[in-house]
Structure 1
Amino acid sequence: MNYSTMNFTPEAYPNSTSHSFGVVDTLNFCMFIFSFLVGLPTHCYVIWLIVTGAGSGVASEFFNLNLSISEAGFSLDCLMFFLSEWFSFLLEFKMFLAGLVTTGRPLFQCLMCVERYLAVVHPVTFLKYKPLRYRLICCAVGWILTLGACLCCMYTMVKHKFVHVWFMSVQFVLFVSIQLFCLVAVLRALKQSGPGERVRENEENHRKRRAFYLILITTISMVITYVPFNTVGFFSIVTGIFNSAHYVPGLTCFVLCGFVQPILYLHRTGKLSCLCLFSSPLPQNK
């Protein structure tokens, strides 16, 4: 399966049509340029804000911090895409970095959704496991899995496309299933009125709505990220035709979806006060 960091060359697609390659190659280069020039500064800015405590602190934003690190790795991977055109020894390193976002992005997004789920549905458990050390353990396991995915991408992305398709599809179904479970559970909790005073009840519903919309946006973002690639990947395996033009929409969705979480975080911390799109589902804490 062709993925975002694969070489978009005729050799990578022996059955592709050559007459459309020039336009496709230009579009791919534009997306990688955009991801590197805009994505890297954006994710580094988010990392700096979290580390310096501009938001809710490192502890509460620890999963978001790790997500931004993996996204910054993808932006560097876009740079490796260009350099590997002139320095072939960077090819394997380029495919290795692909695992930082192909697995790191959905994994840390999933951890964020599970954390919101626990905070809403099981608040006692959430308070019990809220300290930073538990987040450190989860992220350590997450990075071990991500590095394993990096090795998998390095050895399967070009030589074993069928294995890569199944690997991406299985993890996509797994992560989306977990997020959908969290989404439905938070929605059910939102519909139930909690005991207590009316002001306290409104604050509780406000917190539940924020968690619900964050999980909803994250789940939709993951679907948009992986459905185009998995669909085209299975089509390529079945037909035996690997046309680079088929992957342009998937690459576009993949790059643009990487900006969803940074925009949400910057808006939540007041750095994007002019952004009104998410002001209703994700209002500021008072």
Structure 2
Amino acid sequence: MSLLHFPNSSLDSGHSRCNNTDGSRIGLALISTRVFLLFPVSLLILCHGAQRRRRRSFTAMSHFDVFTFHHCVLELVWILGTVLQFLGSSMDLEVMSMAGTYLSTCIFPGEPLFHVLTCLDRYLAVVHPVLYVSLRSSRGVSVRNVAVFGVWLLCFLFSCAANNLRSVIYIRLFSGFLTCSVLIMLFCGVSVLCALIGPGPGKKAGNKKLVDQSILRAFVTVAAITGVLCLWFFAFLVSSSLTSSALVAQSVSCVLEVSVLWFSLPCSLILPLLYLLKTGTLQCGHGGEGQEMDTEIN
């Protein structure tokens, strides 16, 4: 049986057939690891969110929580797409395989976009607290829902591009997309860091410690998300440069094409891990449901 090919590889617009032995082993190890780590974590977070929804209005949840829930749904969509792709390839069902291909490719633009929204949320909470408080109203929820809908729409558009455009065109498109995402996150991180170093006028002296802790949590969140995306971004650039080089053999190019996808794994895990730390599900020193990372910064 030939290896499940990787149409979700951002390096080949969805038309690569990575069939050599090394590439097959690396690819199967990657799929197994992602499913083993992300499936239970995503289900745990979604079940936790469902329990919270029964206790209070879903719209009252923080924007960070909602972005994380959609991120987990995206991971489950990838798992479903991978399963359909595998079954379609094994049973020679082209329609099923193609459906799996389109579903699995949604994850590459979706993850960075939810990361960007999370960083922008932390940026507004720290740098523009008055605007941030207003965005927690019903008007802000509407804006958030439109942003989430836009992410899913872009996921669909990028999926179509990945499976229909030429390799070179898609690589350039995806490279530009990642570049913009990284730049936005860096801007948010630097802005939050500046606020942490010098809170600026208008801060109440009695609340300075609480404010500093809130800003520090926001900075840690932005820095962690930016770090994992930068890792994925530079790995993608190096791999795409090497695989497009005539000096690299096709078998080596295949291995690189699959291996670079390992660097996207931290991007998949970072939001769920931050959520579990925030809610106290993962105990790290002290935490809990009462210590929300999105404490309003006034």
How does the TM-score come out when normalised to structure 2?
A: 0.80
* Counterpart residue number, 1:236: 243
* Counterpart residue number, 2:16: 12
1:174 Cα deviation (Å)? 0.5
Q: Percent identity?
A: 20
Does the 8 Å CA contact 2:45/2:272 hold for their aligned counterparts? yes
Instruction: Determine the C-alpha separation between the residues in 1 that align with 2:244 and 2:25.
Output: 25
Matched, 1:163 2:162: no
Q: Say which SS state the counterpart of residue 126 (structure 2) adopts.
A: helix
Matched, 1:128 2:131: no
Q: Cα distance 1:261–1:82, how it changes in 2: closer, same or farther (>3 A)? A: same
Matched, 1:250 2:260: yes
Q: Say which SS state the counterpart of residue 263 (structure 2) adopts.
A: helix
Alignment of 1:130-145 (within 5 A): 130-131=136-137, 132-145=141-154
Does the 8 Å CA contact 1:3/1:229 hold for their aligned counterparts? no
Q: Say which SS state the counterpart of residue 125 (structure 2) adopts.
A: helix
Instruction: Determine the C-alpha separation between the residues in 2 that align with 1:237 and 1:57.
Output: 51
1:231 Cα deviation (Å)? 2.0
Instruction: Determine the C-alpha separation between the residues in 2 that align with 1:121 and 1:48.
Output: 33
* Counterpart residue number, 1:214: 221
Instruction: Determine the C-alpha separation between the residues in 2 that align with 1:254 and 1:40.
Output: 16
* Counterpart residue number, 2:71: 67
Consecutive unaligned residues in structure 2, runs of 5 or more: 10-14
Q: Cα distance 1:190–1:119, how it changes in 2: closer, same or farther (>3 A)? A: same
* Counterpart residue number, 2:12: none
Per-residue deviation, residues 139-194 of structure 1 (Å, max 9, x unmatched): 112222221112112213xxx21112112101000111000000010111111145
Decide which of 152, 155, 178 is 2:161's aligned counterpart.
152
* Counterpart residue number, 2:41: 42
Per-residue deviation, residues 208-243 of structure 1 (Å, max 9, x unmatched): 111111011001111122322232123322428542
Letter in 2 for 1:173: T
* Counterpart residue number, 1:77: 81
Alignment of 1:83-102 (within 5 A): 83-86=87-90, 87-89=92-94, 90-102=96-108
Q: Cα distance 1:23–1:106, how it changes in 2: closer, same or farther (>3 A)? A: same
Aligned residues: 270
Q: Cα distance 1:84–1:209, how it changes in 2: closer, same or farther (>3 A)? A: same
Instruction: Determine the C-alpha separation between the residues in 2 that align with 1:52 and 1:65.
Output: 13
Q: Say which SS state the counterpart of residue 35 (structure 1) adopts.
A: helix
- Further displaced range: 90-99 or 63-72: 90-99
Q: Say which SS state the counterpart of residue 172 (structure 1) adopts.
A: helix
* Counterpart residue number, 1:190: 196
* Counterpart residue number, 2:113: 107
Q: Say which SS state the counterpart of residue 12 (structure 1) adopts.
A: coil
Q: Cα distance 1:234–1:150, how it changes in 2: closer, same or farther (>3 A)? A: same
